[in-house]
Amino acid sequence: MGHQCHLGANANIGKNVMFASCVALVGGDHKFDAIDVPMRFAGRDTFKTITIEEDVWVGHGAIILQGVHISRGAVIAAGAVVTKDVAPYAIVGGNPAKFIRERKRLNP
Active site residue 69: no
Contact 90, 74 (CB under 8 A): yes
Q: Which of 3, 30, 60, 69 is catalytic?
A: 30
Nearest to 63 by CA among 1, 17, 19, 13: 19
**HSE-up (13 A, CA, CB side) for residue 78:** 5
Q: Which residues contact 36 (CB under 8 A, 6 or more apart)?
A: none
By annotation, the residues acting in catalysis are 30
